[in-house]
Structure 1
């Protein structure tokens, strides 16, 4: 199976890049399944129902969220109406709308498990143990058995925690990929047990910025420690950042992984 995972979509520039580029990438790379992290798609803070619809129309099969999952108020209701949207699985309190994982049907009837989990290191909100939460789902949905591929979006700050999750899931997931920091890491690899891994997929946004935000206000705060204005997403041409993997349908193991950077300022890469 050929799978594309795109990192955090950042504001209007990120949405425009997905709309402009993803349809052609689906054709050119013969993609069977596409996952997009959309938790910053609406003005850099959360995801609205309208913007979720736009990501699906562009070619996403699944959209994951993160710590800003419900910053846009309408997502509280919308997520219950669209099961293609996945929020973090390990909220520490009950009665959270939506779901933290789902088994999707890809082209040819093949089954794909998508799950998202929030890390705990340097994260502000209280969440349950991410490793236990992931373990329960993977045991119930074995790779190469009930599902042909399994994808885990690890949304957290620390690369060490993301690496730990990658090794914890090695041999059980097809892809473990980090999101949240908006900067693509250079550790793209297939782990010994056949799990593709990258500590952070990067963002789909304007890299002439500070993690997708216009530079002036973040730089002012770094230099003076004093806020003056709100953060606003940068509006230059965005780079689509993420990972491309190929998997073995019989085992669910990854057989190929490539860093993806398309458009914008970053050096270009992909499964050409």
Structure 2
């Protein structure tokens, strides 16, 4: 079995990259199923109905999200009505945003039960509205009996992501880091768990993690305390990984990174 996981789709450029590259990638790698992080799809923050429908008909089978999940009001209805999307699971239950959708789902793929889980790292600035992702997954694993378990760990720091791997290695099939938008060169299979610190971003290749540079550089120069996130235009990059799983043992046997720059 081969599963393609696409890193954070960012804005119009990210959608164009999907239209331009996905079909060929699926064919060339003989992909069985496509998962994509879509939290930055609509204007760099969130996901609306139009973009969900566009991606849904472009060859993506399942969607994960992140800290920008709730930036577009459509998401509440999308999470409530659609079965192929999850948001971060470890949101405080008493919050209104925690009442829509779920953070972990099991699908049937090639006669295998495949669980997909979305978790928000403690290092992501989210006004302490998330619970501890380590403890959440520990509790989930106590009752999980899926054949294959893929985790999108949406975290800010490399240290938290690496700690997550070492704690859960051998207990989940794959841990794919997202959120920082820069693909790392550390694909590995460690103790029967496939891992990459960050899958990277599918979106503008010449911005600052997808955004126009001006206001972000201005902030780093000390001229403002915050930056204004505006999506960059121009050529794209396509970031993803291909996970190959042995059909007999359900264990990962290969993890290949994909990083395509539009010429």
State the TM-score bracket (shorter-chain normalisation). over 0.9
Distance 1:121 1:228, change over 3 A: closer
- Contact map agreement 1:220 1:227 (CA 8 A) in 2: no
Task: Report 1:138-149 matches (<5 A).
Answer: 138-142=141-145, 146-147=146-147, 149=148
Q: Secondary structure at the match of 1:90?
A: coil
Structure 2, gaps ≥5 residues long: none
CA distance in 1, matches of 2:143, 2:246: 20
Q: Secondary structure at the match of 1:124?
A: coil
Give runs of ≥4 in structure 1 deviating > 4 Å: none
Q: How much has 1:228 moved relative to structure 2?
A: 9.4
- Contact map agreement 2:205 2:261 (CA 8 A) in 1: no
Task: Report 1:16-27 matches (<5 A).
Answer: 16-27=16-27
- Contact map agreement 2:202 2:238 (CA 8 A) in 1: yes
Task: Report 1:1-272 matches (<5 A).
Answer: 1-94=1-94, 95-106=98-109, 108-126=110-128, 127-142=130-145, 146-147=146-147, 149-191=148-190, 193-226=191-224, 230-264=228-262
Q: How much has 1:104 moved relative to structure 2?
A: 1.4
Q: How much has 1:30 moved relative to structure 2?
A: 1.1
Q: How much has 1:42 moved relative to structure 2?
A: 0.4
- Contact map agreement 1:52 1:63 (CA 8 A) in 2: no
Q: How much has 1:227 moved relative to structure 2?
A: 6.8
Q: How much has 1:122 moved relative to structure 2?
A: 4.7
Q: Secondary structure at the match of 1:114?
A: strand
Q: How much has 1:109 moved relative to structure 2?
A: 3.0
TM-score by length of 2: 0.93
Q: Number of matched residues?
A: 259
Distance 1:237 1:105, change over 3 A: farther
Moved more, 124-133 or 68-77: 124-133
CA distance in 2, matches of 1:226, 1:130: 32
CA distance in 2, matches of 1:263, 1:150: 30
C-alpha RMSD of the superposition: 1.7
Q: Secondary structure at the match of 1:203?
A: coil
- Contact map agreement 1:123 1:156 (CA 8 A) in 2: no
CA distance in 2, matches of 1:100, 1:220: 36
- Contact map agreement 2:216 2:227 (CA 8 A) in 1: no
Q: Secondary structure at the match of 1:172?
A: coil
Moved more, 34-43 or 24-33: 24-33
Structure 1, gaps ≥5 residues long: 266-272
